[in-house]
DNA sequence: GACATATAGTTAGTTATGCAACCAATTCAA
DNA sequence: TTGAATTGGTTGCATAACTAACTATATGTC
């Protein structure tokens, strides 16, 4: 049992570990080299708006697994960059609906290509089956803890 | 091919995604509930010092996958908490050797138990084989990108 | 209608990360 | 042995994260 726990302890370093940040940093670098001056955190917000424009900040919280203050500032910074605009909802005046600008729409294809390319690099030598298992493990870890 | 890429795109959200931060947050909460006022980032530094005391900051960089400024500040904060002490190396006066205090040594057993417990919760319903595959995928992702 | 409660979003404070520029000690080479 | 390059560490700046406390709108109950 203590042996088993030690093995799990090793996994801990991988999960908190740096595969994800290595990927984030690589993607960020690709953006920068192509003159795209957004952070991957900002990109992850745009990612969900590209799938569906006009989400509320609360919906962005759920979609990106962030808390409210985090989304407030990410939207602040995206607004400064003129990539989104807050629009007060008419049905519920507490809500801000976040709308993409034309500039943000233009970023979609370009950055999605870079993201896919980064993923191809990252997943070199990994089979589709292993990917599925890894996805499902990470999903269960998340579900177990949330 | 584009189908394949879409599947990978989904993985991206899992890898950058929040399994790791969910685990970190849970462990942090466990610490707090037991009156242990350190962050999991600070804990991850102590973790390596428990395995081997007196590492240099550079060695802590490699061990924790962080850059030099990050370690400088984490050690700053650990020093404020009187959990470590910087000691200039006698062989190479550029180096700080980081030594655990007695207070830090006392934290080891307690926090390791909590970490193992958090991992057991996180890995509920995941087989040992799946864990191994997941570890190996994350390791390859890291190696592909570093 | 009035008060309690819940929900959407913001603000303030602390910690952490990445990058770039920097200083100081060491090593290497002409 | 002197000058260049390397290595270990620090500082400044910007972005982002979590917690807690706050405002404002909306809902629900008596």
**Token output for B82:** 């009187």
Residue B130 pLDDT exceeds 60: yes
Residue A66 has what pLDDT?
92
End-to-end CA distance of chain B: 26
Query: Which of B12, B20, B49 is CA-nearest to residue B119?
Result: B20
Write the DSSP string, B11-73.
HHHHHTTTHHHHHHHHHHHHHHHTT----HHHHHHHHHHHHSTTEEHHHHHHHHT--HHHHHH
- How far apart CA B78 and CA B100 sit, in angstroms, is 10
Confidence of residue A139 (pLDDT cuts 50, 70, 90): confident
Report, in ranges, which bases of strand D sit under 7 Å from a protein C-beta: 7-13, 15-21, 24-27
Domains, chain B, in order of start with CATH, read: 2-145 (1.10.10.10)
Residues B85-93, mean pLDDT to the nearest whole number: 94
- How far apart CA A129 and CA B28 sit, in angstroms, is 33
Residue B89 has what pLDDT?
94
Confidence of residue A2 (pLDDT cuts 50, 70, 90): very low
Residues A69-84, mean pLDDT to the nearest whole number: 96
Distance from CA of B127 to the nearest CA of A (A): 9
**pLDDT digits 0-9 by tens, A52-65:** 999 999 999 999 88
Residue A12 has what pLDDT?
62
User: Distance, angstroms, CA A93 to C1' C4?
Assistant: 21
**pLDDT digits 0-9 by tens, A120-135:** 888 888 998 998 998 8
- The percentage of chain B sitting over the pLDDT mark of 90, rounded to a whole number, equals 52
Residues 6+ apart with CB under 8 A from A110: A34, A36
Confidence of residue B2 (pLDDT cuts 50, 70, 90): very low
- The percentage of chain A sitting over the pLDDT mark of 90, rounded to a whole number, equals 53
Distance from CA of B27 to the nearest CA of A (A): 10
Place of tokens 């700080």: B96
Residue B26 has what pLDDT?
87
**pLDDT digits 0-9 by tens, B24-42:** 888 888 898 898 999 999 9
Residues B105-133, mean pLDDT to the nearest whole number: 89
Test A137 with B131 for CB contact under 8 angstroms.
Answer: yes
Residue B143 has what pLDDT?
84
């Amino acid at each position: 049992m203590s042996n088993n726990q030690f093995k799990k302890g090793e996994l801990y370093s991988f999960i908190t570990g740096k595969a994800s940040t290595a990927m984030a940093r690589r993607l960020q670098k690709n953006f920068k080299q192509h003159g795209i001056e957004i952070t991957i955190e900002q990109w992850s917000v745009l990612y969900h708006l590209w799938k569906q424009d006009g989400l509320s900040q609360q919906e962005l919280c759920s979609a990106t697994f962030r808390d409210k203050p985090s989304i407030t500032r990410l939207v602040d910074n995206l607004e400064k960059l003129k990539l989104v605009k807050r629009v007060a909802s008419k049905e519920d005046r507490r809500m801000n609906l976040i709308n993409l600008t034309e500039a943000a729409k233009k970023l979609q294809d370009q950055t999605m290509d870079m993201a896919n390319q980064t993923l191809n690099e990252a997943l070199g030598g990994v089979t589709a089956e292993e990917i599925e298992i890894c996805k499902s493990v990470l999903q269960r870890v998340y579900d177990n803890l949330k």
